[in-house]
């Protein structure tokens, strides 16, 4: 079979495109190599569940593309030079190299825990400074960028389509930024491609003095390096649409006027926690690790898939409990899997709804229908349920391991929670103390308070 066509018996993917603000058939520029770029993490802190939603959206999209097309190249960068990194390393009293290495390791661990597959290429910004400088030089030569007081700035008024991606204008940026405009900018909307570094700050020699790149130029340089001047899909969270993606697009289109940069833009909606925007000041800020401390990773993954990626997702403890119950049900159904049954392809009904702009809630509904059939003893339906799970990265355990996992107890973890409960009681935070008791009870662990302190046993 020729590898140059999409697999003919499969449905065509329809995907929402942020630039045209419409859901359109996805047509790869070259069907023998579908190329995808996602903005990865700035590595100064643990990933939170909002970051996870973007990475998971990419994972489901790439898994589906791999099912539909013979060859997919997925690039997701790491931003390892940024003022937030410099500030955090300083505050922690550790080196930038130690901070970024540890954060990258933690990021990989967290994503692997929720079965997010690694990208094909994971370029680091600091390894591509030369490519960024080449682009900046070319933008200066073509009159799209200018040097001022050790900075190089992109002149937004040289790109007439600026704002077309996000539907916003440079004025919005100024209104949103609420900061004094730097005096060296010709136009308040101009943004930094290169900025000067002092001796304490990471920097590289350049024609414009020792300095470091702005954030936006990184992705333009790395996507071009690994995917070319034109590629199929660029994605990220909706918070990146403006200014980050708008600026990436302006730089790349001005550097390569005959290229298209990204042909299709995918943005996932935000995630709320208990109906509110997640923030450290509200105390509802949740890292992936916070959630995985008390919850099986597949339950977190399933919870995030219960909303289609363009709908705002409200994260709650009840939602997480429901996700775990759904998995209990799926794994019960998988107990009817006939070990002699050959593996089957992902069911067409599930592929079909995923091809409708990644409609994961409908895919889960299809899986429930398969679970119903499997529970009446239909072993083929059980095999199809397993195959559907494989397609979207769920049901990776055996039923045995899943149900045993529910009763798996880490004594050190229980001891830590008992100490935390004791501290909560001392601080008269009885709500938190009860919450810990209930969370442990849900794992089948009973606490007994006595004169010698608190002991525990498995129910
Ligand atoms: Zn980016």
Taking only the tens place, the pLDDT of each residue in 434-453 is: 888 888 887 778 888 887 78
Ligand 1 centroid, distance to 343 Cα (angstroms): 39
Q: Which residues of 156-178 are buried (b: 16+ CB within 10 A; e: fewer)?
A: bebbeebbebbebebebbeeeee
Rounded to the nearest integer, the mean pLDDT of the chain is 93
pLDDT level of residue 1 (50, 70, 90 thresholds): very low
Ligand 1 centroid, distance to 262 Cα (angstroms): 12
Ligand 1 centroid, distance to 219 Cα (angstroms): 5
- Cis check: omega of the bond before 175, within 30 degrees of 0: no
Sequence ranges of the binding site for Zn(2+): 39, 219, 244, 248
- Report the topology of domain 294-403: 1.20.120
Q: Which CATH class is domain 14-271?
A: alpha beta
Both tokens of 238, joined, read 């909706």
For residue 46, give the nearest of 276, 211, 254, 293 by alpha carbon.
Answer: 293
Give 161-199 pLDDT, tens digit per residue: 999 999 987 666 666 555 677 889 999 899 999 999 999
Sequence ranges of the binding site for ATP: 280
Helix axes 317-334 and 379-392, enclosed angle (nearest 10): 140
Sequence ranges of the binding site: 39, 219, 244, 248, 280
Domain boundary assignment for the chain: 14-271, 294-403, 411-458
Ligand 1 centroid, distance to 308 Cα (angstroms): 23
Residue 78 has pLDDT above 60, yes or no: yes
**DSSP sequence for 128-150:** -HHHHHHHHHHHHHTTSEEEETT
Ligand 1 centroid, distance to 38 Cα (angstroms): 7
pTM: 0.87
For ligand 1, an ion, list residues with CB under 5 A.
39, 219
């Amino acid at each position: 079979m020729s590898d140059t066509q999409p697999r003919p018996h499969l449905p065509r993917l329809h995907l929402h495109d942020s630039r045209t603000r419409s859901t359109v058939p996805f047509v790869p520029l070259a069907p023998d190599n579908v190329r995808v770029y996602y903005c990865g993490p700035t590595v100064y802190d643990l990933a939170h569940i909002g970051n996870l939603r973007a990475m998971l959206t990419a994972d489901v999209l790439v898994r589906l593309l791999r099912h539909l097309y013979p060859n997919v190249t997925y690039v997701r960068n790491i931003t390892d030079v940024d003022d937030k990194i410099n500030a955090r390393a300083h505050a922690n009293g550790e080196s930038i190299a130690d901070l970024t290495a540890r954060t990258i390791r933690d990021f990989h661990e967290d994503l692997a825990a929720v079965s997010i597959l690694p990208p094909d290429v994971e370029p680091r910004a600091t390894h591509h400074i030369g490519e960024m400088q080449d682009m900046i030089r070319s933008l200066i030569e073509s009159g799209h960028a200018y040097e001022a007081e050790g900075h190089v700035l992109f002149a937004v008024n040289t790109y007439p389509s600026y704002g077309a991606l996000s539907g916003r204008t440079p004025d919005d940026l100024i209104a949103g930024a609420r900061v004094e405009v730097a005096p060296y900018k010709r136009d308040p909307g101009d943004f930094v491609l290169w900025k000067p570094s002092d001796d304490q700050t990471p920097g590289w020699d350049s024609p414009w003095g020792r300095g470091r790149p702005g954030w936006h130029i990184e992705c333009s340089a790395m996507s071009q390096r690994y995917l070319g001047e034109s590629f199929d899909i660029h994605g990220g969270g909706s918070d990146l649409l403006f200014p980050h993606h708008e600026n990436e697009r302006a730089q790349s289109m001005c550097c390569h006027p005959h290229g298209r940069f990204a042909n299709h833009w995918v943005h996932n909606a935000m995630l709320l926690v208990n109906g509110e925007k997640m923030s450290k000041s509200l105390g509802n800020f949740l890292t992936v690790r916070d959630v995985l401390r008390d919850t099986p990773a597949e339950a977190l993954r399933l919870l995030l898939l219960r909303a289609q990626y363009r709908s705002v997702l409200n994260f709650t403890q009840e939602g997480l409990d429901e996700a775990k119950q759904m998995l209990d049900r799926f794994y019960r159904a998988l107990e009817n899997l006939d070990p002699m049954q050959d593996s089957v392809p992902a069911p067409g009904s599930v592929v079909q709804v995923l091809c409708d702009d990644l409609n994961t809630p409908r895919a889960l509904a299809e899986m429930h229908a398969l679970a119903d059939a499997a529970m009446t003893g239909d072993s083929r339906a059980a095999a199809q349920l397993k195959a559907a799970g494989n397609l979207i990265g769920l049901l990776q355990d055996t039923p045995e391991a899943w149900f045993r996992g529910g009763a798996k107890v880490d004594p050190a973890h229980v001891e830590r929670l008992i100490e935390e409960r004791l501290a909560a009681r001392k601080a008269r935070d009885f709500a938190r103390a009860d919450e810990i008791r209930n969370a442990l009870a849900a794992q089948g662990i009973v606490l007994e308070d006595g004169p010698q302190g608190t002991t525990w046993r498995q129910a």
